Amino acid sequence: MSERAPGPGLGIVPRLSELRRDPLRVVTDLHRQFGDIVRLGDGALTVHLLGHPELADHVLRGHHANYDRQTRSADAVRDVTGESLLTNDGEEWRRHRLLLQPHFNAGAVAQLQPVVEGAAEAMVDRWLEQGSIDVGAEMTSLTASIVARAFFGTELDDDAGEIARLLPVILEETYARATSILPLPRLIRGWRFREARETLLGIVERIVREQRSPLLAALSSRLTPEEVRNETLALLLAGHETTANALTWTFLLLAQHREAANAVAEGPLAASAVFEEALRLYPPIWIVERRAIEDDTIAGYDIPAGSIVYVSPYVLHRLPAFWREPDTYDPWRFQEPAEREAWLPFGAGPHHCLGGHFAMLEGRTIVDAVLRRCRVGIAAGTRVETQAWITLRPRGAVPLTVTARA
């Protein structure tokens, strides 16, 4: 017989303000206090936090058919992209996924290496002239441009900077809608969100209208115009924003740990290892939400139908049982053939990230291009805080210095 999971005895609603202010601390503290599975609340607002890779596997892979994406966070993303691979389930999701999958497998992605290399080298040329950068803005603009060239066959030009400007507006409001019981964010910030989304849709409609890539041709041959627009918008946003965040954390960490940067430049440390360690410490998708369709039991605990479960890669990536000195920056750990049972930067199961192969290609290629020619530094005393919205990103600008590597 299943039993009730341990927890603080409070629902999710009393903790919403605390979660919005410091969600990483809250979920980490709850797991430290109550263990691998934590229950918050009863009835329609029952929530379980899962903090062990086996429990994550139960929801995301082993019993995925019982856990859908009819959730508050998916509803908030639907407000941005409409129904897309980021939000839908069932047969519609399967049809779209099968249509897109051939363009994102390892073989197809490998052919895009020259696009990534060319964009990265051009960026490094400009960095060396400037001498100082906001690496967050740079990575957002770079990855948006790469996605547009690689998958849509187009140049974003000034639109790349526009996307970088609009993203914080979109993400802040999306997170507010995902974590609010009352629709206050729509009243307060709704007009800025709508304006930003309309601008993004204008960029997407131009891309779709030009029809310059095999991917767009494939979408247009099988989907309605609205579906093509939605998937293009989802691919443009999800295909660059998470990678931009991961690369921003990567270069910030390298600026703080010169020995790792030098080891990559000189050869003993792989560029992919420093990117993977940044993904471990700061996974862009820091939490995943699912809804239980029918009653279930996880680790002997009752999961009622209609309740919500959260899996946090941020928590999994810092479990002492699976990582030595989990809070320490140590990219050399990814040089070893260690198990990665608790490493989920791209999710797991059928809904794992479609762009995982491409993100890894971008990460190692861009890191290699920068460190081969540059040293990146950061001013003493500079503090960069985390912003845990829908994605995990730095709060505000991330100023770095750039000098030529001798």
pLDDT, tens only, 186-223? 555 678 888 999 999 999 999 999 989 999 999 999 99
Q: What is the largest CA-CA distance in the chain?
A: 67
Sequence length of the chain is: 406
**Out of 39-48, 78-87, 172-181, 344-353, which region has the weakest mean confidence (pLDDT)?**
172-181
Q: Name which of 70-84, 125-139, 168-182 the model is least confident about.
A: 168-182
User: What's the confidence (pLDDT) of residue 187?
Assistant: 55
The pLDDT tens digits of the residues spanning 69-113 come to 999 899 999 999 999 999 999 999 999 999 999 999 999 999 999
Give the bridge partners for 253, in sequence order.
none
pLDDT at 381: 84
Provide the number of structural domains found in the chain.
1
The answer, yes or no, to whether residue 61 has pLDDT greater than 90, is yes
* pLDDT reported for residue 328: 97
Using CB atoms within 10 A of its CB, is residue 360 exposed (0-12), middle (13-18) or buried (19+)? buried
What pLDDT does residue 158 have?
A: 82
Residue 307 lies in a domain: yes
Asked if residue 378 has pLDDT above 70, the reply is yes
* pLDDT (0 to 100) of residue 178: 83
pLDDT of residue 157: 84
Tell me, yes or no, whether 8 lies in a domain. no
In a domain, 2, yes or no: no
Domain that residue 116 falls in? 13-404
The SS3 of residue 167 is: helix
Contacts of 88 (CB under 8 A, 6+ apart): 69, 96
Complete DSSP assignment for 62-109:
ITGGGEE--SHHHHHHHHHH-SSTTT--HHHHHHHHHHHGGGTSHHHH
* pLDDT in the model for residue 380: 83
DSSP 297: E
The token duo for 123 is: 């960026």
CATH code, 247: 1.10.630.10
pLDDT at 13: 60
pLDDT one-digit tens code per residue, 228-275: 999 999 999 998 999 999 999 999 999 999 999 999 999 999 999 999
Establish if 131 belongs to a structural domain: yes
- Whether residue 270 is contained in a domain is answered as yes
State how far the Cα of 87 lies from the Cα of 38, in Å rounded to an integer: 25
Residue 202 is predicted with a pLDDT of 94
Q: 3-state DSSP: the chain helix, strand, coil percent, rounded to 5? A: 60, 10, 30
Two tokens at 87? Answer: 């939000």
- pLDDT of 272 reads 97
How far from 281 is each of 240, 377, 392, CA to CA, in Å? 19, 20, 10
Instruction: Inform me whether the pLDDT recorded for 14 exceeds 80.
Output: no
**Integer angstrom CA distances of residue 358 from 92, 100, 387:** 24, 13, 24
As a whole number, mean pLDDT of residues 109-135 equals 97
Has residue 377 been placed in a domain? yes
Taking a C-beta distance cutoff of 8 angstroms, is the pair 34, 299 a contact? no
Q: Mean pLDDT of all residues in the chain? A: 92
Greater model confidence, 87 or 172: 87
Whether 1 maps to a domain, the answer reads no
* 3: in domain: no
Residue 186 has what pLDDT?
A: 55
